[in-house]
Amino acid sequence: MPARQLLILRHAKSSWDDPKLADFDRPLAPRGQKTAPLIGRELSRRGWLPDLALVSPALRARDTWRLVAQELPKHVSADFAEELYEAEAGAILAHVRQVKATNLLVIGHNPGLQQFVLRLAGAGSDESVFKK
């Protein structure tokens, strides 16, 4: 069985400019619109190309994916998974386990995504990589 690759990406910087918008409907801030394509280019440069993207359906996550995907050298299908919006680590893990893609990209939100990464890292991981 080939090794699987899991790429994890928190959505790009979102805007808080309109306090009347529901959290789900918040767009990307200008900084997020600028940096999301850079992530797509970096994924391409490193050869970290997903077969499938699991993306939270929140606007900022969908827009992040759209901007990242435009920079990839091949078309990648996306599954906009309701389960990823406001998901806790266990829910993200359960959803990822159901996917059969060899190279999977997950785009979601903190704190659940960060908790998921820490859970995957395990006790033997180098803690210095988790410090800001």
With a CB cutoff of 8 Å and minimum separation 6, the contacts of 30 are: none
pLDDT (0 to 100) of residue 5 = 94
Name the maximum alpha-carbon separation found in the chain. 49
> Does 67 map to a domain?
yes
Whole-number pLDDT of residue 122:
76
What is the CB neighbour count within 10 angstroms for residue 61? 27
The tally of domains found in the chain comes to 1
- Is residue 16 included in any domain, yes or no? no
* Interatomic CA distance for residues 114 and 33, integer angstroms: 22
pTM of the prediction? 0.91
pLDDT by residue for the chain (132 residues), tens digit each?
578 899 999 999 999 999 999 999 999 999 999 999 999 999 999 999 999 999 999 999 999 999 999 999 999 999 999 999 999 999 999 999 999 999 999 999 999 999 999 888 877 777 766 654
Look up the domain containing 108 and give its range: 5-10+24-120
The answer to whether residue 19 is domain-embedded is no
Cα 113 from Cα 9, distance rounded (Å): 8
CATH of residue 37: 3.40.50.1240
Q: Answer whether residue 51 is part of any domain.
A: yes
| 48 located within any domain | yes
Q: Decide: helix, strand or coil at residue 40.
A: helix
91 part of a folded domain: yes
Residue 21 has, within 13 A of its CA and on its CB side, a CA count of 14
